[in-house]
Amino acid sequence: MDAQTRSTIKKEDILIHSTQVGLDWIAENRTKALRVSIAVLVVIALVIAGVVIYQQRSQAAANAFGAAVSVYSTPIADPAQPAPPGMKTFPTAADRAKAANPLFADVAKRYGSTAAGHNALYFSALTAAEMGNTSSAEADFRKAGELHDANLASLAHLALANLLTQHGQTGEAIKLYQDLISHPSATVPAATGQLQLAQLYEANNKAAEANKIYAQLKAKDQTTAAGQIAAQKLAGQH
């Protein structure tokens, strides 16, 4: 037998041996391997089920939120211009808010983990404020301000600061405005917080503080709405 033939036979023996070892391992560990496979499939199934359920809840939440927004978008009756026949209207903004508020509150309660639920919480606070229910509005604005959605949280903090200002709680309102200025968002730019803070100072006879903010806004950019308002405020005081 030549060397090449012996080498070929040796390689075949090694392959046969390796294959046999692998088959023996599978035979010995078949139960364990089966259990691992089942466990992996169960995890995958749970993940898929979770995604499906979340998507279904998100869609249901979006539909419910849309229905609440539809009510909140209903026009206010204008005595000077009667609504067309069949068009629904509300006599006042407070009446409209009263109708929409429980719808928003229900979405926020049932779907609080979804984006629609977060938005509903903010609108629940907004409509409560329009109804004159200050305590509920404040509570919901505070909850919305703690959400991880920075844009929605900023809107909630701005609305809360305005609400506190209306009821004489200027100390906390000032802190909220200052925080909005330090942490601007797409929904509440720093200039918005600066204007609100300046107007609060004006209303409380702190013209020097207000003028300082107006001067900063004017110097930053007179082409923006905030810069133009600041320039008008400063010009009107001379």
pLDDT exceeds 80 at position 219: yes
Q: Name the residue range of residue 68's domain.
A: 10-147
Total domain count, the chain = 2
Whether 129 and 137 have beta carbons less than 8 Å apart is answered as: yes
What CA–CA distance (Å, rounded) separates 213 from 97? 35
Tell me the C-alpha distance between 208 and 197, whole Å: 12
* Residue where the block lists tokens 């109804």: 131
Q: Cβ neighbours of residue 111 under 8 Å, at least 6 residues apart? A: 57, 58, 60, 61, 64, 65, 117, 120
> What confidence tens digit (pLDDT) does each residue in 138-197 have?
999 999 999 999 999 999 999 999 999 999 999 999 999 999 999 999 999 999 999 999
Distance CA 77, CA 89 (A): 5
CA distance 147 to 163: 19
On whether residue 4 sits in a domain, the answer given is no
Among 147, 177, 212, the domain-final residue is 147
Q: What are the backbone dihedrals phi and psi of residue 81, each rounded to the nearest 5 degrees, phi first?
A: -140, 90
pLDDT reported for residue 221? 75
Evaluate whether residue 196 is within a structural domain.
yes
Residue 179 lies in a domain: yes
What sign for the dihedral angle of Cα 47, 53, 57, 62? Answer: positive
Global pTM value? 0.76
20-34 pLDDT, tens digit each: 555 555 555 566 656
Asked whether residue 5 is domain-assigned, the answer is no
Contact call for residues 74 and 86 (beta carbons, < 8 A): no
Q: Are residues 86 and 155 in the same domain?
A: no
CA distance 7 to 219: 88
Cα-atom radius of gyration of the chain, to the nearest Å?
A: 32
Co-location of 175 and 61 in the same domain: no
Q: 121, 147, 173 — which closes off a domain? A: 147
Residue 186, in any domain of the structure: yes
Q: Is residue 3 part of a domain?
A: no
